[in-house]
């Protein structure tokens, strides 16, 4: 058994250590120093060089290093028959939910206003809380947990997704019902999977359909957001601000306008980070299942893109 980890520019030493702890017999090869491509039957990917997988003739399974798989599906040379799995783990869910709750509360309780007032030595007790109705776009494992926790805090919460759902305990909209969803909310959390249908969804046309003053939180993917359109929408007063953890180019370039905006909070893609100790048992189990021809854990639907 040989596993290749392909994640250019990323320190994967913690992954190798965790693999050795879980099963010392596993042979691990690290890109770009792949010594025996024919022995590789499973690859673990994050932002791999496109087209490289055709160099592995005996590849049986692709595993994402995280919950997202858009970085894999963007490679047109991956055979449609090759299964792809992602990581589903409470170790990803809890930090993500905590991050979204933090960003929501910071806005709702106007922390930024008070930070600014402190610098100016201003004591202003007016309007200490904003009335918000939260809309979560993307109600999979992560989005559903976010909705649950926000509801526990007493916030009105609405969900939006790609397909119909009948078992939700919150108002839910899907597909062409986006305008109705937007009409009900004034804080939007984007947790959508990145697919051709959702790429660039947070654009100027979208913002102009929002209630005036809507706040945006994006923890999904940078390519969901048309960054220049957000700057325009904030400048026009359509959008009140944003809390962003993902960007089209990471690290965010020094000259990017987001750095200097007092309406935008930037964090460096840290909302939820994969823990190798939690992820690796899933990967090893799936390798065993692929050899035994059993159903895989957390296999994605290639057609839906998630």
Task: Name the residues annotated as catalytic.
Answer: 221, 269
What burial class does residue 77 get, using C-beta atoms within 10 Å of its C-beta: 0-12 exposed, 13-18 middle, 19+ buried?
exposed
Helix runs in 43-176, H state only: 70-73, 90-108, 111-120, 141-152
Looking up tokens 């159903």, which residue turns up? 295
d(C-alpha 202, C-alpha 223), whole Å: 9
- Residue 253's alpha-carbon distances to 8, 132, 146, 222, in angstroms, are 19, 32, 30, 13
Q: How far is CA 211 from CA 4, 168, 185, 238, in A?
A: 48, 24, 7, 8
* Alpha carbon distance 51, 53 (integer Å): 6
Distances (CA, A) of 298 to 88, 160, 252: 7, 22, 31
Note whether 274 and 252 are within 8 A (CB): no
Instruction: Collect all residues with Cβ–Cβ distance below 8 Å to 96 and sequence separation of at least 6.
Output: 142, 145, 146, 219, 271, 272
Selection from 93, 137, 111, 128 nearest residue 265 by Cα:
111
* Residue matched to tokens 């296999």: 299
- What distance lies between CA 16 and its chain's CA centroid? 24
Q: Where are the alpha helices (DSSP H) in 194-237?
A: 204-209, 227-235
């Amino acid at each position: 058994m040989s596993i290749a980890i392909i994640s250019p520019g990323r320190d994967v030493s913690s992954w190798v250590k965790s693999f050795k702890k879980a099963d010392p017999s596993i042979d691990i090869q690290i890109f770009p120093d792949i010594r025996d491509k024919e022995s590789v039957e499973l690859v673990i990917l994050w932002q791999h060089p496109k087209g490289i997988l055709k160099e592995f003739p005996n590849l049986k399974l692709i595993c994402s290093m995280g919950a997202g798989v858009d970085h894999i599906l963007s490679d047109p040379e991956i055979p449609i028959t090759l299964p792809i799995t992602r990581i589903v783990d409470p170790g990803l869910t809890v930090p993500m939910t905590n991050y979204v709750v933090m960003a929501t509360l910071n806005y709702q309780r106007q922390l930024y206003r008070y930070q600014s007032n402190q610098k100016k030595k201003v004591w202003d007790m007016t309007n200490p809380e904003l009335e918000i109705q939260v809309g979560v776009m993307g109600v999979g494992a992560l989005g559903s947990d976010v909705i649950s926790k926000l509801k526990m805090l007493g916030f009105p919460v609405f969900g939006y997704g790609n397909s119909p759902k009948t078992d939700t305990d919150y108002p839910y909209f899907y597909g062409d019902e986006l305008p109705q969803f937007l009409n009900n909310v004034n804080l939007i959390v984007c947790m959508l999977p990145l697919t051709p249908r959702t790429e660039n969804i947070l654009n100027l046309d979208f913002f102009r359909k929002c209630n005036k003053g809507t706040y945006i939180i994006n923890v999904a993917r940078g390519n969901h957001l048309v960054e220049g359109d957000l700057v325009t929408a904030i400048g026009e007063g359509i959008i009140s601000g944003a809390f962003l953890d993902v960007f089209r180019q990471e690290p965010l370039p020094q000259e990017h306008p987001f750095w200097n905006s007092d309406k935008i909070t930037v964090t460096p893609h840290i909302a939820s980070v994969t823990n190798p100790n939690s992820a690796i048992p899933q990967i090893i189990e799936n390798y065993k299942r692929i050899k035994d021809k059993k159903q895989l854990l957390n296999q994605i639907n290639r057609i839906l893109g998630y």
